[in-house]
Amino acid sequence: MNATRRRQLFERLRSANPEPRTELEYSTPFELLVAVILSAQATDKGVNLATRRLFPVANTPQAIHDLGVDGLAGYVRTIGLYPGKTRNIIATCRLLLEQHAGEVPHDRESLEALPGVGRKTANVILNCAFGEPTMPVDTHIFRVANRTGLAPGRTVREVEEGLLARVPQEFRQHAHHWLLLHGRYVCTARRPACPGCLIADLCEYPDKTRAEAATPAKATQRAAPRATPQGAPRRRRA
């Protein structure tokens, strides 16, 4: 994908969603750190359900450390791989208290030294909590970058470096959110929604899906969806 198409791609994504946000709910860098550790191989929805129970009770390194592994597990056992995640979170809380005065560090080296924190998690914290134009690459972003031709790569690191080299500077702060949300809701793994995709004409994917032929109205009738309960979640999404 050439530079002109790349710019057009991000201009369209920005126009559709000027201020994209992670779907994880948090109100402090530490809450985000906990949520991202929990989110490995789990859905944001599942993590939010757990942290809505946890954070009103304990949302600081000291408070979560005081819960201990078993106490923390009681709040997050609905999340996959929770035994290892709880151990990592408790160990991370201990290091934050001992080495960082209870604060989340603002540099990659210190973040990646925390248990349960790898490069992608560090990138998320640096971007979402501290406003740095990093490029966390998850499965959605990896797929979109390769399918579209935006930044092809065989590994996550290759895609990350390709995106950092190719995404125009003005779009880097929000680029990973745009690509993640596009991969989650439009450019899905099994059947991408190419007919309704706003960047389909820029995308270099050779196997684009086509619009299905209309079916008789009787066959497509479905029950009306239930009304969405009123009231917003306690935590903001950022």
Active site residues: 120, 138
Q: Give CA–CA dist 145/176, Å, rounded.
A: 10
φ/ψ of residue 123, rounded to 5:
-60, -40
Give alpha helix (H) positions in the chain: 3-16, 29-39, 44-54, 61-76, 82-99, 108-112, 119-124, 139-148, 156-166, 172-185, 217-220
CA distance from start to end of the chain:
30
* Inter-helix orientation angle 156-166/172-185, to 10°: 130
φ/ψ of residue 237, rounded to 5:
-100, 135
Residues 6 or more apart whose CB falls under 8 angstroms from that of 101 comprise none
- Beta-bridge partners for 208: none
Is 151 in contact with 145 (CB distance < 8 Å)? yes
Residues 6 or more apart whose CB falls under 8 angstroms from that of 139 comprise 183, 189
Q: Any idea what DSSP says for residue 128?
A: I
φ/ψ of residue 25, rounded to 5:
-95, 130
- Beta-bridge partners for 237: 25
